[in-house]
Amino acid sequence: MGGVIVPEIVPYLAGLLALLVVWEYHQILVLKGRIQAVDIFDRSGIRMYIHVAPSNNDTCAGCQDLHGRVFLPSMVAKRLSNPSQGHCTNPGGCRCLLIGLYGAWPEGRHLVERLRTAKRKPVKLNDEELLRLINGPWEQSVSAETDRISVHMLEALSYELSNPDTSIMGYRYVIDHAKQVRDLQCVLPSFMRMADLLIAQRRHSDALAVIDQFEKRYAKKKTGPLYPTEIQRGLMSLKKARLTKVLPSGSPAAA
């Protein structure tokens, strides 16, 4: 009986066509921000680092100049662990941070494209652009869980002058929820900054409670980037001594 002879190559071509269709559909979803395009060589979930200084009057000129600069991960690894090294003149030590983001929401994706177009040079964000990034729809993006701590930290650092209550809530969130290795670098600065903000607002009892929590968390005098230096421990002890004198002896925080 005669029949249709299908060349052996046809099933392979059909399979290839199906893969191309799936790939095109994947690209459409990536462009719409519905799924996350993951670089197989990137195990950190970080596509950029933003150098941020606290938005207060105590930030030195060197840190103000670097504030808002955005780097590719490769640029940070090849240059310095912190670009502010050698620039900061704050006698208490540099309070800037390099905050890592994946940035799957529209403003984040646009920033990644700017970085790539800049041909391995940092991109500078002004305050308005940084706030636009922070206030973008990051919670609806596929990188929301990855970037959650980073966005709260960026928000806290950016609103110290204009909305200190927002900053305090942001620092509290970081302290309570940072668990991943990439996020733990934000915990110590959150303690330091929140204590200062609470003292500035004359919320002395709350500030003392934060310092007590700091001392319990860092009771063991370990060394390393995730642990306080002797200077930082001394600063917190000094704040505690002053607060203890200010608070009534019968208040819970002073007990």
Question: Could you report the per-residue pLDDT of 47-75, keeping only the tens digit for each?
Answer: 999 999 888 777 777 788 889 999 998 88
Average confidence (pLDDT) over 180-196: 94
Which pLDDT score, from 0 to 100, does residue 134 have? 97
- Work out the mean pLDDT of the chain and round it to a whole number: 84
Average pLDDT score over residue span 186-205: 96
Q: What is the pLDDT of residue 40?
A: 36
Q: Which amino acid appears at position 245 of this protein? A: K
Over residues 139-162, the mean pLDDT reads: 95
∠ Cα 19 46 146 (to 5°):
85
Given a cut of 80, whether residue 211 has pLDDT beyond it is: yes
Edge-to-edge strand list for the sheet holding 97-101: 97-101, 48-52, 69-71, 123-124
What pLDDT does residue 33 have? 47
| Cβ-based neighbour number of residue 50 at 10 Å | 26
pLDDT range class, residue 251, cuts 50, 70, 90 = low
Min mean pLDDT across 95-109, 166-180, 200-214 is at 95-109
pLDDT score of 9: 73
DSSP secondary structure string for all residues of the chain: ---PPPPTHHHHHHHHHHHHHHHHHHHHHHHTTSS----TT--SS-SEEEEE--SSTT--HHHHHHTTEEE-HHHHHHS-SSTTTTT---TT----EEEEE---SHHHHHHHHHHHHTTS--EE--HHHHHHHHTSSGGGSTTHHHHHHHHHHHHHHHTTTT-HHHHHHHHHHHHHH--SHHHHTTHHHHHHHHHHHHHHTT-HHHHHHHHHHHHHHT-S---STTS--HHHHHHHHHHHHHHHHHS-TTSTTT-
User: Token digits for 64?
Assistant: 């103000």
CB 147 within 8 A of CB 186: no
Return the pLDDT at 39: 43
What is the per-residue pLDDT for 64? 81
**Candidate from 68-72, 128-132, 211-215, 246-250 with smallest mean pLDDT:** 246-250
